[in-house]
Structure 1
Amino acid sequence: MTEGTESGIPAGRDAYLSRRTLRGGSAGPLLLTGLGVAYVVSGDYAGWNFGLAEGGFGGLAIASALMGLMYTCMVFALAELAAVLPTAGGGYGFARRALGPWGGFLTGTAILIEFVLAPAAIAIFIGDYVESLDLFGLTSGWPVYLGCFVLFLAIHLWGVGEALRFSLVVTAIAVAALVVFACGAFPDFEADSLNDIPVDSTAFGANSWLPFGLLGIWAAFPFGMWFFLGVEGVPLAAEETRDPARTLPRAMAWAIGVLLVLAAVTFLAASGARGPVAVQDAGNPLVTALEEPDGGSTALSRFVNYAGLAGLVASFFSLVYAGSRQLFALSRAGYLPRFLSLTSRRKAPYLGLLIPGALGFGLAAATGDGARMLNVAVFGAAISYCLMTLSHIVLRRREPELPRPYRTPGGVVTSGVALALALAAVAATFLVDREAAFIALGVYAVAVAYFAFYSRHRLVAAAPEEEFAALAAAEAELARE
């Protein structure tokens, strides 16, 4: 079989695609909503609280509200794009149609950085939880990292339906525990304690509400993102979804709605029960918020501690899924080595699961630095948000007659708001962890060199995302004649 370039349909097209096919019709609205929440739910249990040290309660509250607005606007824009282009490429497919091969590659690479690095980081956090809970007598994290990747990759290899059902069950446990946490924490809520971080009098605009001034709001952006990071991955399940044009927009709207409620409740309950000073540096802030003033544990704090492990597992499991589908789509279209998109008899992209899994385990075991890897993932995510929301604006302007089964409320105004906030989020990552941002840029540079000198000359025209783009180009050419 000779696989041609983008300019022509490869010889043996059907044979090529038959070896690179996902199991269609496996996911409905409930499973996809669960997937969207699963991507994110671990962020409610830990991570967001470090933003209190950057912006104080008021700064993080404003940052979280702005990031919530960004994600809401972006989700509605992506829902429209997913209904128009329901392929496993997700954001890469949207940008490919709107911004060309370079735009598609840059977007897909940014998404891949997010969804490969984030599971490695969460595996480290799972190891920390297991060790702190003294489970299985483990005193080192690496056996847990290995167990996570081996066990959960095996479930993914079993089949997408089984994987998404497992994810839904674990996510339901984690969400239920957040509700229990809120019920236990809100009776101790004290509004006066929310401003207990000392004011930095040298910061511009500093006060008890904004102890680190106006700049603290901006610096807290990446931590506000942790309440929502990953929900944009729902469209990656498009080729495995029943009636994606209707199901994806509905599931994405439900997922962001649930996440907005969970973010507000968790943030207020945890900060108000003990005060920001008590939880700003805690590895498990919800547990800290429920403990006795002297640090003694309670029955409820121990329950939430175990439930936090379920939240981490849910996010780890779903992010592995997202990374494998983005890798699958980029490989199938030739942007990455084509063998990575081969699927098994159960229609699972086995190399797209195993190779990122091995890479993630290696990074986790070698570095043990989950916070740094998450910051790299956040930078990649923010870059992809800029490109995906720009794609929505470009397609609305350039192809107004494109059939749209679902239309974004507010149109380009909505995606424009998301784009502006995404650009601010990219800049904010340099305020928090400049080294992580430069690491992500270094990975980007290597990927760009690979694409520029090799893979852009070997794209596969038969891939769905490439066919959509080729059809658009042909229609535009006819319109000019």
Structure 2
Amino acid sequence: MTEKPATEITDSSSHLKRILGPLMLWGLGVGYVISGMYFGWNLGLPVGGTLGLAIATFFIIIMYITFTFSYTELACAIPKAGGVFDYATRAMGKDIGFIAGMSQIIEFVFAPPAIAAAIGAYFHIFLPQFSVISIAIVAYIIFTGLNMYGVKAAATFELIITAFAVFELVLFSGVTLPHFHWSNLTQNAFPNGWKGVWAAIPFAVWFFLGLEGVANVAEETINPQKNVLKGFGSALITLIILCALVFISSVGVGGWEKVVFPTPGAEASDSPLPMALSQITGTSGWLYHLLITIGLMGLVASFHGLILAASRATYEFGKTGCIPVIFGKIHPTFKTPVNALLLNMTIGIIALFTGKTGDIITIAVFGAIALYIFAMIAVLKLRKTEPDLARPFRVPMFPYFPIIALVIAIISMIAMITLNLKLALIFFAILVLAYIWFHFIVKQKTDVESTIIKG
């Protein structure tokens, strides 16, 4: 009989409720990511131009296709809320598993405050009497509260808000594509050559960042061995189509400079869609305001969805004793990880006060790419060490898919480090300090407790 880790909570308060189907998984998968279609990606245009960013995005799409199929194998074989933390631990041991899990938490905990700041900036336009940060904090409280109430309510809201966000992007494309001109895509399309492709990689990643969060609700999914694949696959197809539509329709209206710089020589803007739309409708028409208002749904969808995914990653850390076990408790009434949600909200609000939105996003991207690397190694390792592990879904074209995803992820990590050396040092410093704490405190405590139990 296999013993359970001494630090793992085994009472009924540690169980999540299975209530999510494939449609809600689609809503979560698209919702996690969709804010990346609304802002941030256009900042890759000054360094890469239309062609440079398009080439970078093409390879990142290949990475996400091969990664998603490979990650689905793990999620179906090991349907736990910890995601890559559980997969890497099983494949490579507790130490590597902890580092992989920390990378995941960094991604999911640091991305929401950046999106909250964007939400605050949006509402500040209409409510100038309230500061950006105060609006962002209120958003944190509201959506953390909704996630506390119950996963079904949270996922249902996510599905509705994501549907609105997708509709807005389709409507935006319908308005702008009739004004598309091929010459706008080819104008100054490759300003920095292949160096621009390299520099555009982080912005291409931002298009799809967060999709892997679907795996973190596998423990709450009905028949995860089938439905996780349906949710992952349908979300990825939707996002690839939306990415192509947004990219072509935005730049095709007036060239890439028009969706980056509000005026010649001005600082780059985080609002490519409104800038593209204003060239057609102006900034005072009803259609412009309608689309911009609905566009807020994209920010809300990603913010709310990532709060959900982050809480499951933190919950699993608490459940296994990597952080205080109180964060691995499930509320007896709501059946949600309330303590994990409150911890993540506190960290997110602290991050908001730094005012470094761009830096916060970059650190989140570092966490995501590290997650991809560890996950693909886990796929390859488990196929070798546990060939008889029940795998309801097997990645096609093994081992080529995980290897392709791994290679592109490593190249992306190198690009991120060379372009953001200071932030890379901060990211790796967080991992090193966290690992030291884990190795010398958590593991020693676990070993002592295991000895006591065996004795």
TM-score, normalization: structure 1?
Answer: 0.88
Partners of 1:32 and 1:330 lie apart in 2 by 23
Q: Which residue, out of 18, 42, 55, partners 2:48?
A: 55
1:159 corresponds to 2:186 = no
Partners of 2:74 and 2:272 lie apart in 1 by 37
Change (3 A) 1:374 1:257: same
In 2, are the aligned partners of 1:219 and 1:431 still within 8 Å (CA)?
Answer: no
| Aligned residue in 1 for 2:286 | 299
| Aligned residue in 2 for 1:148 | 139
Matches within 5 A, 1:254-265: 254-265=234-245
In 2, are the aligned partners of 1:96 and 1:102 still within 8 Å (CA)?
Answer: yes
Shift of 1:91: 1.0
Change (3 A) 1:11 1:380: closer
SS at match of 1:220: helix
CA shift digits 1:253-273 (9 cap, x unpaired): 111111110101111111111
SS at match of 1:110: helix
1:104 corresponds to 2:97 = yes
In 1, are the aligned partners of 2:7 and 2:319 still within 8 Å (CA)?
Answer: no
Shift of 1:330: 1.4
| Aligned residue in 2 for 1:233 | 213
Matches within 5 A, 1:376-387: 376-387=363-374
| Aligned residue in 2 for 1:276 | 256
- Please tell me the root mean square deviation across aligned C-alpha atoms, in Å: 2.0
1:430 corresponds to 2:417 = yes
SS at match of 1:454: helix
| Aligned residue in 2 for 1:212 | 192
| Aligned residue in 2 for 1:474 | none
CA shift digits 1:317-366 (9 cap, x unpaired): 010111100011111111222111111121111110001101101211x1
| Aligned residue in 2 for 1:401 | 388
Query: What letter matches 1:17 in structure 2?
Result: D
1:179 corresponds to 2:170 = yes
Change (3 A) 1:9 1:414: closer
Matches within 5 A, 1:26-425: 26-132=19-125, 134=126, 136-197=127-188, 209-280=189-260, 281-292=268-279, 296-345=283-332, 346-364=334-352, 366-425=353-412
| Aligned residue in 1 for 2:263 | none
Query: What letter matches 1:31 in structure 2?
Result: M
Shift of 1:144: 0.8
Change (3 A) 1:370 1:31: same
| Aligned residue in 1 for 2:14 | 20
SS at match of 1:171: helix
Shift of 1:92: 0.9
Query: What letter matches 2:347 in structure 1?
Result: L
Query: What letter matches 1:182 in structure 2?
Result: S
Shift of 1:297: 4.2
CA shift digits 1:179-227 (9 cap, x unpaired): 0000011111111122334xxxxxxxxxxx4211111111111101111
Query: What letter matches 2:28 in structure 1?
Result: L
SS at match of 2:11: helix
CA shift digits 1:399-442 (9 cap, x unpaired): 22322111111111000000000001111112433322222112
In 2, are the aligned partners of 1:84 and 1:405 still within 8 Å (CA)?
Answer: yes
CA shift digits 1:150-182 (9 cap, x unpaired): 111111111000000011111110000000000
Partners of 2:251 and 2:11 lie apart in 1 by 52
Partners of 1:456 and 1:32 lie apart in 2 by 35
CA shift digits 1:44-69 (9 cap, x unpaired): 00000000012110010011111111
SS at match of 1:238: helix
Partners of 1:301 and 1:432 lie apart in 2 by 36
Change (3 A) 1:12 1:140: closer
In 2, are the aligned partners of 1:42 and 1:308 still within 8 Å (CA)?
Answer: no
| Aligned residue in 1 for 2:436 | 449
Partners of 1:377 and 1:461 lie apart in 2 by 35
In 1, are the aligned partners of 2:281 and 2:288 still within 8 Å (CA)?
Answer: no
Query: What letter matches 1:418 in structure 2?
Result: A
| Aligned residue in 2 for 1:9 | 4
Shift of 1:459: 4.5
Change (3 A) 1:303 1:458: farther
SS at match of 2:112: helix
> Any stretches of 5+ residues in structure 1 without a counterpart?
1-6, 198-208, 463-481
In 2, are the aligned partners of 1:193 and 1:276 still within 8 Å (CA)?
Answer: yes
Change (3 A) 1:93 1:339: same
Change (3 A) 1:42 1:226: same
Query: What letter matches 2:16 in structure 1?
Result: L
How many equivalent pairs are there?
Answer: 440
Partners of 1:243 and 1:8 lie apart in 2 by 26
In 1, are the aligned partners of 2:81 and 2:215 still within 8 Å (CA)?
Answer: yes
In 2, are the aligned partners of 1:379 and 1:437 still within 8 Å (CA)?
Answer: yes
Partners of 1:360 and 1:461 lie apart in 2 by 34
Query: What letter matches 2:53 in structure 1?
Result: L
| Aligned residue in 1 for 2:452 | none
In 2, are the aligned partners of 1:130 and 1:138 still within 8 Å (CA)?
Answer: no
Query: What letter matches 2:15 in structure 1?
Result: T
SS at match of 1:411: coil
CA shift digits 1:6-59 (9 cap, x unpaired): x9536798x733222212x21000001110000000000000000001211001
TM-score, normalization: structure 2?
Answer: 0.93
Query: What letter matches 1:450 in structure 2?
Result: W
Query: What letter matches 1:35 in structure 2?
Result: L
Identity of aligned residues (%): 35
In 2, are the aligned partners of 1:290 and 1:298 still within 8 Å (CA)?
Answer: no
SS at match of 1:292: helix
Partners of 1:11 and 1:458 lie apart in 2 by 9
| Aligned residue in 2 for 1:467 | none
